[in-house]
C-alpha cells in the first residue's frame, strides 16, 4: 500500500502560556497544504524494518530510523493489536525542521494505512488519540481539514475557511529551526484580538493582525527567513507569514481568474 502524506500550514500562531508540564498552550489554525508531499509505502514482510530516502542521517545514526515516527506509530498499534511485521519505505519530500509537519503527517498516515491494511477496529477519533501520543500536531493529519488547534496543538475544532480565491506559495530557506530554538526567548501572552475573529475577516485585513509569535525570535536568529517574508510582500502577496516554528514561509496571492 502506498500513500502521499502532505504538509500543513499555520494561519496565525499564538503562544498563550507555559504549562506546568513544560509545554506551552498555543492557538493556531492548521490547514492542509498539498504543495509538498512525502511518499509512504508499507508492505507485508518477514521482519519489521524501515528504509528512509531523501534525507541525510547524521553520521548514519541508526537511531534516526529507529525513532522515526512511522515506526513509532507501528509500535503503538502493535502494542494494541497483534500486527504482523511490515516493511516501511519513506521518501521525504517535505523538508524537516521547516514548520510544515512532515513527520507528523507520516505518522498519521502510517496509522491510517495500517488500519486499512489489517482492518483494525479503530474509529477516526481513536486513531487521533493514538496519533496524539506521537506528537502534538499528529491528530490534525488524521482529520485532514482546517482545524483550530489549542492546548499543545492536539485539541482540535473544525473551522470553515474558504481560500479558493487565493494562491498559496511556499518558500523553504535552507535553514533548520528546532522547536527548542524557536521557543527560546518567547514570552507567552494572550493576543489583543481573538484569532477566530481575525480569520473570519477578509484576507486583505490580515497583514499586521494575524501573527506568528515565533517570528520575533526566529527572525532575530535567522534574518534570511525574514527576508523571504519581505520578498513575498514585494512580489505582491496580500498576506505572508512563517509557518509553525519555521523555516518555511508562505504567501497568499490573488488567484487570477
Which residues does the annotation mark as catalytic? 8, 137
Cβ-contact 155, 143 below 8 angstroms: no
Tell me the residue length of the chain: 257
Distance CA 153, CA 23 (A): 10
Distance CA 102, CA 55 (A): 12
> 243 to each of 8, 39, 150, 203, 229, how far by Cα in Å?
8, 22, 16, 16, 11
Cβ-contact 252, 240 below 8 angstroms: yes
SS3 82: coil
Cβ-contact 251, 240 below 8 angstroms: yes
Amino acid at each position: 500500500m502506498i500513500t502521499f502524506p502532505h504538509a500543513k500550514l499555520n494561519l496565525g500562531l499564538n503562544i498563550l502560556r507555559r504549562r506546568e508540564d513544560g509545554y506551552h498552550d498555543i492557538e493556531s489554525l492548521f490547514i492542509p497544504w498539498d504543495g509538498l508531499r512525502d511518499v509512504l509505502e508499507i508492505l507485508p514482510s518477514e521482519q519489521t524494518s524501515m528504509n528512509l530516502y531523501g534525507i541525510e542521517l547524521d553520521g548514519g545514526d541508526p537511531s534516526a530510523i529507529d525513532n522515526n515516527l512511522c515506526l513509532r506509530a507501528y509500535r503503538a498499534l502493535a502494542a494494541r493489536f497483534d500486527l504482523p511485521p511490515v516493511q516501511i519505505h519513506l521518501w521525504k519530500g517535505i523538508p524537516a525542521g521547516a514548520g510544515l509537519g512532515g513527520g507528523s503527517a507520516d505518522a498519521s498516515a502510517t496509522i491510517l494505512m495500517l488500519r486499512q491494511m489489517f482492518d483494525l477496529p479503530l474509529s477516526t477519533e481513536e486513531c487521533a488519540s493514538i496519533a496524539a501520543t506521537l506528537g502534538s500536531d499528529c491528530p490534525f493529519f488524521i482529520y485532514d481539514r482546517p482545524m483550530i488547534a489549542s492546548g499543545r496543538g492536539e485539541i482540535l475544532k473544525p473551522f470553515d475557511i474558504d481560500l479558493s480565491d487565493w494562491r498559496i506559495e511556499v518558500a523553504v530557506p535552507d535553514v533548520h529551526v528546532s522547536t527548542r530554538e524557536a521557543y527560546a526567548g518567547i514570552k507567552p501572552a494572550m493576543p489583543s484580538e481573538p484569532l477566530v475573529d481575525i480569520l473570519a475577516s477578509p484576507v486583505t485585513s490580515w497583514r499586521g493582525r494575524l501573527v506568528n509569535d515565533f517570528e520575533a525570535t526566529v527572525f532575530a536568529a535567522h534574518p534570511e527567513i525574514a527576508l523571504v517574508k519581505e520578498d513575498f510582500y514585494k512580489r505582491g502577496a496580500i498576506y505572508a507569514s512563517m509557518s509553525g516554528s519555521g523555516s518555511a514561509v508562505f504567501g497568499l496571492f490573488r488567484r487570477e481568474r
